[in-house]
């Protein structure tokens, strides 16, 4: 591992939702760093980056995340406990002014504004898009969550190019995760999880063919 071994199409065909992980295999620190880089570098509308990630890489951490896979979510429990690493995707519920200033100041520190007026322009642009979602569509939390799914897509593809198996999971008790990691008091809420590692030889899902609509069904020439 550690090198980009697949082209994109190959990686998309190779990846699948892993239902059973090999408990003996661990993602290397180097590869996991590449995955964390994806989480950080993923694009978001107006660069708002409304995310936070809770990551478990040991039994104790996975046991905490497994508080979200009890009861009706039991079907995902082993996917959390047997994986090498588990990432809980958390979204900001609202992008309050304090958070917006944090984004803007970071862009400034990172050298995005050649002149002070560009900083103000960026803030106004971000506010304009945010206010459409907040006041006209009345859907700010949803817009923020959309940015997380884009990030999740990048992570899934990136993992596949590294030969790392994964399963995205919405099947989780999000309230239990919010409580376990005290997310709400920090302005965040759990949205979904991704377990990562290596497929077990016994995983029935690894041998099933992909099922996707044909190109003609999903693409129209303009």
Q: Tell me which residue has tokens 């509308």.
A: 45
Residue 6, exposed/middle/buried by CB under 10 A (0-12, 13-18, 19+)?
A: middle
Query: Pick the catalytic residue: 20, 62, 79, 140?
Result: 79
The span from the CA of 144 to the CA of 21, in Å, is: 31
Nearest distance in Å: CB 133, ligand FMN:
21
> Residues 163, 67: contact at Cβ < 8 Å?
no
> Site for ligand FMN (CB under 6 A): which residue of 182, 210, 213, 222?
210
Ranked by CB distance to ligand FMN, the top (closest) residue is 171
Out of 167, 190, 191, 196, name the contact with ligand FMN by CB under 6 A. 167
Alpha-carbon distance of 130 to 152, in angstroms, equals 21
Eight-state DSSP code of residue 135: I
Binding piece for ligand FMN, criterion CB under 6 A, among 157-165, 167-175, 178-186, 196-204: 167-175
79 catalytic? Reply is yes
Among 47, 171, 179, 187, binds ligand FMN (CB under 6 A): 171
Q: Which of residues 78-97 bind ligand FMN (CB under 6 A)?
A: none
Q: Least separation, in Å, of the C-beta of 211 and ligand FMN?
A: 8
- Cα(209)–Cα(16) distance, integer angstroms: 10
Within the chain, what is the greatest distance between any pair of CA atoms? 59
First-to-last C-alpha distance (Å) of the chain: 41
Considering 70, 106, 170, 175, which one is annotated as catalytic?
170
Contact range with ligand FMN by CB under 6 A, out of 22-30, 53-61, 166-174, 196-204 = 166-174
Is 221 a residue that touches ligand FMN (CB under 6 A)?
no
Residues 110 and 107: their CA atoms lie apart, in Å, by 5
Footprint of ligand FMN on 4-63 (CB under 6 A): 16-17, 19
Distance CA 172, CA 191 (A): 9
Of 23-31, 46-54, 165-173, 195-203, the segment contacting ligand FMN by CB under 6 A is 165-173
Interface size with ligand FMN, residues (CB under 6 A): 11
Closest CA to 152 of 44, 9, 76, 14: 44
Residues that bind ligand FMN (CB under 6 A): 16-17, 19, 76, 167-171, 192, 210
- Catalytically annotated residues: 19, 79, 170
């Amino acid at each position: 591992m550690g090198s980009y071994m697949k082209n994109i199409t190959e990686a998309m065909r190779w990846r699948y939702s892993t239902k059973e992980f090999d408990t003996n295999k661990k993602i290397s620190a180097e590869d996991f760093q590449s995955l964390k880089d994806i989480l950080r570098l993923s694009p978001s509308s107006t660069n708002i980056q409304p995310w936070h990630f809770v990551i478990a890489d040991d039994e104790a951490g996975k046991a905490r995340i497994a508080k979200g896979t009890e009861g009706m979510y039991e079907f995902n429990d082993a996917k959390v406990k047997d994986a090498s690493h588990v990432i809980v995707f958390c979204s900001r519920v609202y992008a309050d002014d304090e958070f917006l200033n944090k984004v803007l100041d970071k862009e400034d520190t990172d050298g995005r504004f050649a002149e002070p007026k560009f900083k103000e322009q960026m803030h106004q642009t971000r506010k304009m898009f945010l206010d459409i979602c907040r006041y006209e569509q009345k859907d700010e939390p949803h817009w923020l969550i959309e940015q997380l799914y884009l990030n999740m897509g990048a992570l899934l593809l990136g993992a596949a190019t590294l030969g790392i198996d994964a399963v995205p999971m919405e099947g989780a008790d999000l309230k239990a995760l919010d409580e376990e990691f005290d997310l709400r008091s920090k302005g965040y809420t759990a949205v979904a999880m991704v377990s990562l590692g290596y497929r077990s030889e016994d995983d029935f899902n690894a041998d099933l063919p992909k099922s996707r609509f044909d190109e003609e069904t999903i693409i129209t020439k303009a």
